[in-house]
Structure 1
Amino acid sequence: MMRGIVKVSVEREEVAVSAAGEEPGESGGAACGDAALHALAGAARAELDVFSRGNAGTRAELFLSAGRRLTLEYEASTTAFTLNRGGSLLAAARVWQGEHSGFAALPVSGPVELARVLEAARQRMGTSPPPSLPELLDPAGSAPPSFPDLSAERSRSLAEHLLRTVVPPGRVVQAALLTQSVTRTVLVRGEGGCSWGGSSREDAFVRCETPRGAIVDAVASPLGQPWPLESLRARLAQAVEVLEGPAEPVDPDLPLVLRPAVAVPLVEALAWLLRGDVGASLPALVRAVGKKPFPSVLSVQDDPRHPLGTQRLETDDEGMPACPLGLIEEGGLRGFLHSTGTAARLGVEPNGRGLRLEGAPPAPCPINLFVVPRGDALPERYTELVARVETFTTMPRPGLVSLMAGGWEVHEGRRVRRVAPVDLSLPVLETFRMLRGVGSDLAFFPTAGGCGTPTLVFPPLLRG
């Protein structure tokens, strides 16, 4: 998913293309490009000055976002592709006056609409303590690089390579989706200064059919950089191998070893629990900060610059530096992911995780959250779950992860029999408190909010 506020399409193009088809010309998405964003940024300062003069004692800011997106969807029935292009311009305003604040986000087509966004935020003011916002020191701001071209030809070439070399032979590809996305943002504050930001990435999602259900996997990287296709190829091959052929029921008395593709929904749910807004609703978890609620084998970090991560951020959408965070260290809970708002609510310092998603106010979000690898030894006998079968949801209710996965029974490092997919229903906190070991095979997954994990080792979880 593209990070930032890029929701309302102002231009769209749909073209069905074959593998040998001509690439259509660049769409008029320039309307959502550099010139439009610079024009908005230039006008934002004047609008904020006018707003401040007309609303004495009120602070305000404008967050402006321009985005482009190219999507190439594989049509299984025709083996052709459908190409979609889109772009957006959006302005979000926050205003504060004493103990009141308001927020509004609206699609815009030009500078003249900025006043409308500020007024909408003023009219929606409600009781809320003002956050401690960072000072934006650069009066002019350093603009990010220009919008890169989104190439349909490159997407089509990558899609063909993906389907030809990564998908196991003989598998039915039910769906494949490739996206290129780029956002450019600027935050302008009424008391002075501005902060430019942006991100870009390429994603590929593949859904394949197996005799025991569908498997879904994905790969992502910053736009223009190579995809780590070998890891995707290996995971798909392992999933197909384990989900076809004769299988036996699982032995509930064996320890469970969850390989990364199976373990990552648990890590994604843990990332959700470590958000400041969620933590604020769980007083017992907040009281555990500074204590050791987890085993020593568990450490969790969030690193915006991790070389294997799918995102690269220097600052969040509130102008705060997005530095690496240690959230759990050898079982000790050190803190939560915070925006300025959730930090103020819990009386702590913000840590650069305030992101604006789909036109919402800044909220704490992980960037590249992962379980720190260790390389712990495996038991002599265990059930190894390597492939997750697609289900409707992995968190049917808050704090509970539900998944279906298949694998092998392993004796002294040798796979002795295939295990039919089993249903797991795991309460997140209680499950991580039983963690016994962590592997060294760290992988990040676009299908799990970009979270990463190595192999996780648990005691028998299927008894009863």
Structure 2
Amino acid sequence: MQGGSMDDGARRLCAGLELIAWLASARDALDAFTPEDASFHAELFLGAERRLSLEHDASTGVSTLNQGESAEATARVGASTGQGVLTVPMDDVGGLSRLLEQATRLATPGRALVLPSLPTEDVEPPTGPAALQPEAARRRMAHVIQSVIPKGIVVQAAVLTQSSTWRAAVRANGMRRARTEWREDLFVRCETPRGAVVDAVSLPPGTDDTVFNPLRLRLAEAVDALSGPVEPVDPSLPLVLRPAVAAPLVAGLIWLLRGDIAAATPALARAAGRKVFPSLLTVVDDPNASAGTRRVDVDDEGVPTAALPLVEEGRLQSFLHAADTAARLGAPLNGRGFRSASGVPTPEAVNPFLVPAAALALPAHHTELVARVETFTTMSRPGVITLVAGGWEVRDGHRVRRVAPVELELPVLETFRALRGVGSDLTFFPTAEGCGTPTLVFPPLLATRPGEQAGR
């Protein structure tokens, strides 16, 4: 079982709700739903969550623990002429019929309501979200502060979060699909002489403290790169982006491969099936990726997830789709419809990553960027990633000098069209929407004219 142990009776209760009774109430409310417009269809989506946040205070050395539970229900009602959506917090199993009526009154003209079919499940749904693990959280936080953070470095923030969720999509006539998900992530923000570095690690169920080893190495390398004397970067050298620097760029590519972005960008949608990138670029979203940050069997619309090729040897294969975007682009469903704050499913990747190569031949002379300095945003304009990163100038395989942190402003599509090399060191980053990437090699991307921003 994911998460902590809990007897079945306690697990059934979350935010004061008995979840199996709530599920039955949803079926009853939908069976009784009789709108004036007989063409209307309806769906109820139920969500319950246990959450934990453990925050370390560097000034006192004390970590503060907060826990909570919540539950909310979303009603979606509509037909071919439009739909109404309403999400409300819940504290009892009743009120779902009233929620359906309110959503009906809110229905406005627009895109048709698209509800993918759900099977009538023969198996019993999960009774509720797993228990949180506060003691394990405290032990892991202590281990990180004592053994993972580089000595002498100021920790501005260290936060461990746990989220245990139970979700169910319900339709009339007993159709339903329920799932649970467990997520645990640890984020750290460390100060260096040239700015703050933020990094994180995902903690799958059953993991041990060895999961922190890559984080320890990345933080030590970032501190080394951002401390000591520096010299200006040589803009004529190829760029080697180590995973911590490349991750936001890959996250930008995944954002462009969402079905809602493609639907709003006709030129991008028309590129499906065409080779638009170099052959060495392959991108996959795999819910079963062993090092990924999530484990999801079905999306929030009840559609099963499976490994999804997005780009295959440079050819744009598919987009991430919720039912709505799949219908708009005439594409098959692929199980990437997840609920946003508005309650409407939108496309979202699960464990997207750029497929690593078996080996990487680096240019003899290059700029190696290993550490990303924290900025307020990485996508100041749609489709353009802005990074500030530091590292080294490398000559004949040796780091010969540190380079001052440099700003790169990279148009995502154009940058990946210039990709020259892919490494074997695949790493997933909770700080970059859970994206995974190995080292990436590009031609010189830095500006050569005074006053021009990098990467333009």
* Partner of residue 72, structure 2: 90
Moved more, 180-189 or 139-148: 139-148
TM-score by length of 1: 0.91
Residues 140 and 96 of structure 1, relative CA distance in 2, 3 Å threshold: farther
Letter in 2 for 1:133: L
Give, in angstroms, the shift of residue 31 of structure 1: 5.0
Give distance in 2, aligned partners of 1:271 and 1:142: 35
Residues 213 and 441 of structure 1, relative CA distance in 2, 3 Å threshold: same
1:49-88 mapped onto 2 (5 Å cutoff):
49-52=31-34, 56-88=38-70
For structure 2, which runs of at least 5 residues remain unmatched after alignment?
1-9, 449-456
Residues 350 and 248 of structure 1, relative CA distance in 2, 3 Å threshold: same
Check if 1:300 corresponds to 2:283.
yes
Q: 1:315-336 CA deviation, whole Å, 9 max, x = no partner?
A: 1000111111001011110110
* Partner of residue 453, structure 2: none
Give distance in 2, aligned partners of 1:140 and 1:362: 25
* Partner of residue 392, structure 1: 376
Give distance in 1, aligned partners of 2:230 and 2:426: 28
1:364-375 mapped onto 2 (5 Å cutoff):
364-374=347-357, 375=359
Q: 1:87-124 CA deviation, whole Å, 9 max, x = no partner?
A: 11110111122322221111111122212321222122
Q: 1:183-226 CA deviation, whole Å, 9 max, x = no partner?
A: 01111112431101110011110011100011010011234433
Contact 1:373 1:439 in 2 (8 A): yes
1:312-327 mapped onto 2 (5 Å cutoff):
312-327=295-310
Give distance in 2, aligned partners of 1:275 and 1:226: 34
Residues 40 and 359 of structure 1, relative CA distance in 2, 3 Å threshold: farther
Give distance in 2, aligned partners of 1:51 and 1:145: 25
Check if 1:253 corresponds to 2:236.
yes
Give, in angstroms, the shift of residue 146 of structure 1: 4.4
Check if 1:136 corresponds to 2:115.
no
Q: Percent identity?
A: 54
* Partner of residue 25, structure 1: none
Give, in angstroms, the shift of residue 79 of structure 1: 1.2
Contact 1:70 1:150 in 2 (8 A): yes
Give the counterpart of 1:232 among 189, 210, 215: 215
Give distance in 1, aligned partners of 2:288 and 2:34: 37
Letter in 2 for 1:384: E
TM-score by length of 2: 0.92
Give, in angstroms, the shift of residue 162 of structure 1: 0.6
Give distance in 1, aligned partners of 2:235 and 2:115: 52
Give distance in 1, aligned partners of 2:106 and 2:114: 20
For structure 1, which runs of at least 5 residues remain unmatched after alignment?
1-27
Contact 2:76 2:85 in 1 (8 A): yes
Contact 1:180 1:223 in 2 (8 A): no
Give distance in 1, aligned partners of 2:280 and 2:218: 25
* Partner of residue 178, structure 2: 196
* Partner of residue 379, structure 1: 363
Check if 1:439 corresponds to 2:420.
no
Give distance in 2, aligned partners of 1:187 and 1:429: 36
Contact 2:11 2:130 in 1 (8 A): no
Q: Secondary structure at the match of 2:78?
A: strand
* Partner of residue 24, structure 1: none
Give, in angstroms, the shift of residue 149 of structure 1: 2.3
Give, in angstroms, the shift of residue 138 of structure 1: 2.2
* Partner of residue 9, structure 1: none
Give distance in 1, aligned partners of 2:89 and 2:216: 40
Give the counterpart of 1:420 among 397, 400, 404: 404
Q: Secondary structure at the match of 2:22?
A: helix
Residues 224 and 71 of structure 1, relative CA distance in 2, 3 Å threshold: farther
Q: Secondary structure at the match of 2:161?
A: strand
* Partner of residue 451, structure 2: none
Give, in angstroms, the shift of residue 36 of structure 1: 2.2
Give distance in 2, aligned partners of 1:132 and 1:193: 16
Give distance in 2, aligned partners of 1:364 and 1:55: 29
* Partner of residue 439, structure 2: 455
Give distance in 2, aligned partners of 1:348 and 1:307: 28
Residues 419 and 199 of structure 1, relative CA distance in 2, 3 Å threshold: same
Residues 55 and 44 of structure 1, relative CA distance in 2, 3 Å threshold: farther
Give distance in 2, aligned partners of 1:448 and 1:317: 22
Give distance in 1, aligned partners of 2:187 and 2:366: 31
Letter in 2 for 1:175: A
Letter in 1 for 2:147: T
Letter in 2 for 1:397: R
Give distance in 2, aligned partners of 1:380 and 1:32: 58
1:313-352 mapped onto 2 (5 Å cutoff):
313-352=296-335
